[in-house]
Structure 1
């Protein structure tokens, strides 16, 4: 078994145990492999080990990998900050976007989504910890933004995403994820997705209802930001 396949098995076991601990079916938690800075060969290994969902932060890197992996039936998620000049390529080449935090970006994604593709699945990124350095709309903006995005014709609003302030305290981890779940539950939209939890806190996220955990380091090892895709 390759290192990546072995890591996937370990993460799958963590997901299964965390779900069962709170009475959830493990199948309700999707594993989104964060493949930024990883070569296409690593994604092929992960695909061979059963993964289908891959998250990318950097557009140009992602487009190059998508071209070299076009023979595989992968689902591509954009999970990084979005600049206005990147929306067209994102709308054309991704199945999901987890990091929408402004109406302007959502409108551009809707306008630029090709008519021959299904609506683009959207999660609103929420800054649940109020960090100045983090992207995401403020919690008190979620309802208004969700209402506006739900009316855009080429998008499908699926849920919310967050990247809380780092913490080693399981109670603090759960509290941050509970805030996102509470915001989702308060919305007057039927949303099925909570994109939250990473390698160090996936158990807390699953306990609070995560439907996608975004895992990079635990699958692929520490990132080498000097390596090309």
Structure 2
């Protein structure tokens, strides 16, 4: 194995070891070099002694994070990336799942669906916005178009951000998300007084515009796991 790495929000490996704790290697593995941060990614170099890596071998990250995106480089040059969600006691990186060909579509899809559900459950900003749409739009058909529009826009900016085609500072994105909720709340109050604003007249368009912003927020949350 040449290296295994993941992105962290710090550029000092000693600080990472002090705050998060040193990752735990399988018993038959030893450090080839101490962990280091290179280009924003924490890199580990270690070697398996006595026997090759087998099913059940794992690196334990004693970190309280939403998950980690791991990129591993084997001696033959094969590079495999995989996402690992949090578990009890930290994050368990199953090394056999990082073998070439181990990242099947179904397994990868299952993990990212789980990450999406987790983000929705903790993402009160998205819940508030969608709940606001439910209060504003009374027609089931119009509501369907509105939610679909929000989801489509959310997916567009999420994809562009993941592939680093589109990037915005997180402070700007979070501010715009908060603003979208405030503006939607204002539209709801206006509708209760019998005043019809843009969101009441064109809810699908407003949902699409702010859905683009919320997609950037989801991408920012996902990047914290890399």
Q: TM-score per shorter chain, which class?
A: under 0.3
TM normalised by structure 1 equals 0.24
